[in-house]
Structure 1
Amino acid sequence: MAGHSKWKNIQHRKGRQDAAKAKLFTKISKEIYQAARAGGADPNTNPRLKHAIAKAKDANIPSENIERTIKKATGQLDGVSYEEIIYEGYGPGGVAVMVEALTDNRNRTAADVRHIFTKNGGNLGESGCVSFMFDRKGIIEISRENKDLDEDSVMMAALDAGAEDFEATEESFEIKTTPEDFETVRTSLEEAGYELDTAEISMIPQNTVKVTGEDAEKMLKLVEMLESNDDVQDVYTNFDIDEEELEKMQ
């Protein structure tokens, strides 16, 4: 579970924010589009859309932008058509990498992703070559910056809401759910007054691969370049880098 926070902590350590606001808006808008297109415009009957809208609101995307995207997806407005693609491969040191993309041009995206892998010492593989190494889980994190939070109270609130697992780290309380229970647990914690630092459905590696030296530097660059691509929605890996190794890269 703690491995899920590794990349986020590295980004923070490197002083790097997520994508620029405009890029983030584009990625979330694509996610809303695809969710509405696949499951309909009503978030009450479309959990995927409900989750995407929640992400949009967390990112301060205006409501009118959200509504316009949903209308495009359901044919009420003209718009481009996106398709979902998952790329799988290996990074430096044998690290497993999964890339989720939404694109209106499959050939362009495939070429871009392949180039990024090759440039950073990795290679694309066949569908299914690494996906079996990951489990799809709901992940919720509550920061421990609020010193008034009681660990036992947070744990009981999470478990009572249907959480699958709970872990306390130095930085946060980490809550794991099944994808099906994610929205229920998230809503219950928010209604209980907890401020959620992270709430997403993610791919959690079953095991991690430790990388050092040049492999570690290339691995970080690989993930950064993939995340910077407009068509890439999410990147999942199973790498691990020691704190001492991170210090060398500052």
Structure 2
Amino acid sequence: MSGHSKWHNIQAKKGKADAKRGKIFTKIGKEIAVAVKSGGSNLDSNAKLRDCVAKAKASNMPMDTITRAIKKGAGELEGVNYEEIIYEGYGPAGVAMLVNVLTDNKNRSASDVRCSFDRSGGNLGATGCVSWMFQRKGQIVIEKNDAIDEDELMMKVLELGAEDFASDEDVFIITTTQEEFSNVREALEKENFEFVSAELTMIPDTTVKLNLDDSEKVQRLIDKLEDSDDVQDVYHNAEFDDAFEE
């Protein structure tokens, strides 16, 4: 995958963040609540919660909103019980897609996701049909600036246990194993690095190179899925056409 499209894929997966900020906060809040229910509200002892809070901060989520989500998960405020479901399928041009859902109504979510695929020329598949093409990794994105020395940062993160370091357009992309993600992220936080994003994600082993028309079709499907309140993340193995603009 070319460096250009690698960062473009990350941007495309996230959608138009500024326009969807309120929806993003709601989705991250659900992740925080689920992390608290599964591991408690103590940040020191709940690594998953620490990762969720770091993701929230990278998205500029206000601290009072983060605190409220933690209290909901802990039962201190009224909340909803969510179930996590992963849908798998193929989008236009045979693009493999994973749709991560947190929902309080499985039937509604299944209907919404299936309808989005059907109307976009894709189709849902059985569990396991595409997940084997992806690996769960940690991904930290840092915006480039004059104060950051690329070689020093690369050596630092590799010594911390990162798997890969890439310089791409206006950002540095740091990839870790799932197990090392928290350690690398927390070490960089302590040195006051600010993140464009910091999260566990699904990275494809191989990609499908798309032409401009198929790039637009796949992006429309991603946007449609992400518009659902139940959908947390959409992962794919599309490599968009270089001429494609969101």
Query: TM-score, normalising length from structure 1?
Result: 0.89
1:233 aligns with 2:232: yes
Q: SS at the partner of 1:65?
A: helix
CA RMSD of aligned residues (A): 2.2
Per-residue deviation at 1:115? 0.5
Alpha-carbon distance in 1 for matches of 2:180, 2:146: 28
The 3 A distance-change label for structure 1 pair 84 and 136 is same
Q: How does 1:75-154 map to 2 (within 5 A)?
A: 75-144=75-144, 146-154=145-153
In the alignment, residue 209 of structure 1 is paired with which amino acid? V
The answer (yes or no) to whether the contact 2:55–2:197 under 8 Å persists in 1 is: no
Residue of structure 2 in register with 1:172 after alignment: 171
The answer (yes or no) to whether the contact 1:143–1:171 under 8 Å persists in 2 is: yes
For 1:38-78, what per-residue CA distance to the aligned partner results, in whole angstroms no more than 9, with x for missing partners?
11111211111111122223334343433333233233333
Point out which structure has higher relative CO (alpha carbons under 8 A, 6+ apart).
2
Alpha-carbon distance in 2 for matches of 1:11, 1:238: 10
The answer (yes or no) to whether the contact 1:33–1:70 under 8 Å persists in 2 is: yes
Residue of structure 2 in register with 1:23 after alignment: 23
Alpha-carbon distance in 2 for matches of 1:172, 1:73: 34
Residue of structure 1 in register with 2:45 after alignment: 45
Query: TM-score, normalising length from structure 2?
Result: 0.90
The 3 A distance-change label for structure 1 pair 120 and 101 is same
In the alignment, residue 121 of structure 1 is paired with which amino acid? G
The 3 A distance-change label for structure 1 pair 69 and 20 is same
User: Structure 1: which 5+ runs fail to align?
Assistant: none
Alpha-carbon distance in 2 for matches of 1:57, 1:5: 20
Alpha-carbon distance in 2 for matches of 1:54, 1:197: 11
The answer (yes or no) to whether the contact 1:19–1:228 under 8 Å persists in 2 is: no
The number of residues matched between the two structures is 244
Residue of structure 1 in register with 2:162 after alignment: 163
The answer (yes or no) to whether the contact 1:4–1:204 under 8 Å persists in 2 is: no
The 3 A distance-change label for structure 1 pair 55 and 170 is closer
In the alignment, residue 213 of structure 2 is paired with which amino acid? E
Residue of structure 2 in register with 1:181 after alignment: 180
Structure 1 range deviating more: 79-88 or 3-12: 3-12
Q: SS at the partner of 1:6?
A: helix
Per-residue deviation at 1:9? 4.1
Per-residue deviation at 1:222? 0.3
Structure 1 range deviating more: 71-80 or 216-225: 71-80
Per-residue deviation at 1:239? 0.5
For 1:109-132, what per-residue CA distance to the aligned partner results, in whole angstroms no more than 9, with x for missing partners?
110000111111110000111000
Per-residue deviation at 1:82? 0.6
Identity %: 50
For 1:192-250, what per-residue CA distance to the aligned partner results, in whole angstroms no more than 9, with x for missing partners?
23332221111000000112243322111001111111111011000012213x16xx7
In the alignment, residue 182 of structure 2 is paired with which amino acid? E
The 3 A distance-change label for structure 1 pair 97 and 181 is same
